[in-house]
Amino acid sequence: MGRDMSRTRTAYWKGIWAGMPFLVMAVPFGVLFGVVATDAGFDILQSFAISVIVVAGASQFSAVQVLSDGAPWYIAVATGLAVNMRMAMYSASLAPHLGKAATWHRIVLSYFMIDQTYGVSILEFDRKPEASVSEKLAYFFGTATLIFPVWYASTLLGVIAGSAIPPEYALDFAVPIMFIALVAPSLRSLPHLVAAVVSVIVSLALVWMPYNLWLMVAAVAAMIAGAEVERQMGARK
């Protein structure tokens, strides 16, 4: 029992350490969202609540942008859901590792599952599939320990002081850098590469669509393409 607890603690601290590099991007990303939400007409409470409840930077930006463009609320919701459809794929890939965890663990885990915590954790789980469920849970929650408070605080900072941040600081640099850091290590198979290429091509081809609807179309097309390639590869085997 003592050895198991020691391994779990070690996994937790390893998770904290693995998640620390993303703090560099979480700060400007959170501040930028606070600024964008305020500029779109949301008050302090609304902007902060979105970050605490939704906790999904990409879909938050998309939904707020769509609303600021004058789209109806249901288009904004659909856009946010489309961007976050990747979470369903994240859940499926985590199931073999954490599917046997207690129900309440999985419920809490679903709240803390974001691109950063998933991306770092799945790489670790694939490297160490023999680790126990407790160790994997500890590692996952470790990755979220610092990122989430920093995300909340950064959003609040952006809401309160956003108007005072000089435009030349270009905080939006954090968005592409963060996703490059997350996506690049996962492009290790043909289905992943096909999904990435399809998403780029469809996005560029449909960028003219109103209310950023190209996001939804590109996300669905990429998932279908990646799944089909994976199915064909499985059939050949």
Nearest to 97 by CA among 70, 123, 62, 78: 123
| Confidence at residue 141, expressed as pLDDT on a 0 to 100 scale | 95
Element holding 184 (H helix, E strand): none
Q: Could you read off the pLDDT of 145-171 as tens digits, one per residue?
A: 999 999 999 999 888 876 566 655 555
Indicate whether 178 pLDDT > 60.
no
Residue 61 CB coordination number (10 Å): 20
| Confidence at residue 47, expressed as pLDDT on a 0 to 100 scale | 86
Q: How many helices (H) and strands (E) in the chain?
A: 12, 0
Which of 47-51, 136-140, 207-211 shows the lowest mean pLDDT across its residues? 207-211
Residue carrying the six token digits 């470790």: 142
| Confidence at residue 217, expressed as pLDDT on a 0 to 100 scale | 85
Between CA 27 and CA 155 the distance in angstroms is 8
Which of 140-149, 179-188, 189-198 shows the lowest mean pLDDT across its residues? 179-188
- Upper half-sphere CA count for residue 151 (Cβ side, 13 Å): 23
Indicate whether 36 pLDDT > 60.
yes
Among left, alpha and beta (phi > 0; psi -120 to 50; other), residue 41 is left
Between CA 224 and CA 35 the distance in angstroms is 35
Residue 21 CB coordination number (10 Å): 12
Most confident of 2-11, 200-209, 227-236: 200-209
Q: How far is CA 148 from CA 145, 214, 219, in A?
A: 6, 29, 25
Of residues 184 and 153, the one with the higher pLDDT is 153
Asked whether 135 and 7 are in contact (CB, 8 A), the reply is yes
Mean pLDDT of 168-194: 65
| Confidence at residue 142, expressed as pLDDT on a 0 to 100 scale | 95
| Confidence at residue 181, expressed as pLDDT on a 0 to 100 scale | 59
In the chain, % of residues over pLDDT 70: 86
Q: Could you read off the pLDDT of 110-139 as tens digits, one per residue?
A: 999 988 899 899 989 988 888 999 999 999
Indicate whether 199 pLDDT > 90.
no
Asked whether 211 and 79 are in contact (CB, 8 A), the reply is yes
Indicate whether 200 pLDDT > 90.
no
